[in-house]
């Protein structure tokens, strides 16, 4: 098998800065790169200027943009199986373009370690309207009718990843397909009460198995109650139709399948304040953007605050640094800022904030979270 292409998706709210490439047909900010750069050593990635995402996976965002209900104010969306954050950041940008900052996107990942990686990527992307949770899908059943759209990119047998992942090839078997199909039904059943009547389910996998794709969407429509959205063939040279969805074979990107249905019924939407209260009971990793905390007489700004789209530029002194200094900052080294004012400063690279330091004069205390530091040698 030939190697996969490398793709990124630019953040339109941070200036669309990043490596240049050919456009992804179904993503306005997707770019296919001629070669794979060292993303770890690009400060723009750490600033949230772009996200590295397979081009086929971006098709879910395309379907989301097509099916996003036009009517509701402050749409409330759940990305159910969100780690590491590619679809979450795509959906967040789409929502912000559609309705400004008047939305709530909940990104959930049941595995705690993966949820932490998701939270880091959400922090870098910087959208303050994104919450992060780490609960089993069944936990959302108590939030009846809370979500206008649920995106469920469910765990699957992974046939679409065979080129990229040798382990996926080795572990595949008919038993794995049956196990995955059953688990997907459980996930759909568990989260179904959380989707409002008339709401949209976007269901996707990275496998080609009918049992996990068309059959499960059909099962959801018949058993849980919904109407399948007829798929459209928009990119015939790169996609094909199955009974109920769109299939992207391994080629430009990895394999992907996407389908959708509309939940039956016409019940009332939940009030946004009630949704947030219910969400708070799930002990989210992130709900409202942290600005910092007071310790004694000192207010210590949160590292995430500098990355937020709501961050007020000019509220703190800014120190624009070169590439090497930026990498040392991201390595969590104690950098120096000659001539910078004492106290908290924002480190910027190409005009984008990377985070805070506290300038002591002879050196700076680096406030980058330890878990986000570059581990590669930056000397």
- Say if residues 220 and 254 touch (Cβ distance below 8 Å): no
Helix (H) or strand (E) holding 6: strand 6-10
DSSP label at residue 40: G
Q: What band does 309 get if pLDDT is binned at 50, 70 and 90?
A: very high
Q: Two tokens at 313?
A: 């530029």
Round to whole Å and give the CA distance between 105 and 85: 12
Kindly indicate whether the domain formed by 55-280 is annotated with CATH number 3.40.50.150.
Answer: yes
SS3 106: strand
Cα dihedral 318→320→324→327 (10° resolution)? 40
Q: Can 206 be counted among the known catalytic residues?
A: yes
Residue with tokens 């109920």: 244
Could you tell me the sign of the dihedral formed by the alpha carbons of 304, 309, 310, 312, in that order?
positive
Given the residues 81, 129, 206, 364, the one annotated as active site: 206
Listing from the earlier edge strand, what are the strands of the sheet with 343-349? 318-320, 343-349, 352-359, 364-366
The pLDDT tens digits for 347-364 are: 999 999 999 999 999 999
Per the rule left: phi > 0, alpha: psi between -120 and 50, beta: everything else, 141 is: alpha
148: phi then psi, degrees, rounded to nearest 5: -75, -35
**Segment 117-137 mean pLDDT:** 98
Share of the chain above pLDDT 70, in %: 98
Q: How far apart are CA 307 and CA 302, in angstroms?
A: 9
User: What's the pLDDT tens digit per position in 134-187?
Assistant: 999 999 999 999 999 999 999 999 887 788 778 878 888 889 999 999 999 999
Domain positions in the chain are 55-280, 292-372
Asked if residue 332 has pLDDT above 60, the reply is yes
**Residue 3: band (very low, low, confident or very high) from pLDDT cuts 50, 70, 90:** low
What the block records as the tokens of 273 is 């304040």
pLDDT surpasses 80 at 296 = yes
CB atoms within 10 A of CB 115: 23
Give the residue from 43, 80, 111 showing the smallest Cα distance to 354. Answer: 43
Residues 6+ apart with CB under 8 A from 281: none
Instruction: With a cut of 60, say whether residue 88 has pLDDT above it.
Output: yes
Is the pLDDT confidence value at 124 over 90?
yes
Measured CA distances, 181 to 24, 212, 257 (Å): 30, 5, 14
CA dist., res. 152 & res. 214, Å (int): 14
Pairwise CA distance, residues 204 & 301, whole Å: 39
CATH 3.10.450.720 given to domain 292-372? yes
Distance from C-alpha of 92 to C-alpha of 75, rounded to nearest angstrom = 11
């Amino acid at each position: 098998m030939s190697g996969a292409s490398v793709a990124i998706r630019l953040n339109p709210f941070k200036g669309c800065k990043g490596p240049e490439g050919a456009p992804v047909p179904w993503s306005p900010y997707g770019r296919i790169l001629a070669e794979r750069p060292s993303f770890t050593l690009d400060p723009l990635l750490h600033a949230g200027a772009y996200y590295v995402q397979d081009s086929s996976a971006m098709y879910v965002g395309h379907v989301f943009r097509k099916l996003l209900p036009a009517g509701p104010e402050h749409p409330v969306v759940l990305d159910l199986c969100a780690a590491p954050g590619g679809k979450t950041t795509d959906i967040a940008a789409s929502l912000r373009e559609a309705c400004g900052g008047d939305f709530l996107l909940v990104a959930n990942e049941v595995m705690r370690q993966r949820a932490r990686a998701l939270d880091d990527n959400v922090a870098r992307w910087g959208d303050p309207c994104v919450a992060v949770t780490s609960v089993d899908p069944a936990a959302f059943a108590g939030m009846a009718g809370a979500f206008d759209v649920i995106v469920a990119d469910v765990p699957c047998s992974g046939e679409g990843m065979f080129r990229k992942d040798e382990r996926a090839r080795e572990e595949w078997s008919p038993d794995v397909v049956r196990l995955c199909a059953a688990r997907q039904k459980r996930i759909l059943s568990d989260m179904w009460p959380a989707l409002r009547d008339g709401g949209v389910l976007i269901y996707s996998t990275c496998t080609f198995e009918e049992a996990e794709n068309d059959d499960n969407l059909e099962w959801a429509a018949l058993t849980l109650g919904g109407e399948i959205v007829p798929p459209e063939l928009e990119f015939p040279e790169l996609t094909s139709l199955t009974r109920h969805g769109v299939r992207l074979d391994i080629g430009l990107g990895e394999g992907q399948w996407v389908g959708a249905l509309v939940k039956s019924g016409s019940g009332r939407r939940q009030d946004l304040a009630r949704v947030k209260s219910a969400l708070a009971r799930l002990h989210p990793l992130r709900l409202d953007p942290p600005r910092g905390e007071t310790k004694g007489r000192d207010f210590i700004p949160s590292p995430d605050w500098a990355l937020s789209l709501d961050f007020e530029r000019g509220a703190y002194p800014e120190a624009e640094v070169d590439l090497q200094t930026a990498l040392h900052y991201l390595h969590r080294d104690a950098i120096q800022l000659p001539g910078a004012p004492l106290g908290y400063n924002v480190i910027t690279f190409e005009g984008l904030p990377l985070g805070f330091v506290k300038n002591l004069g002879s050196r700076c205390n680096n406030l980058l979270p330890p878990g986000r530091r570059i581990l590669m040698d930056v000397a």
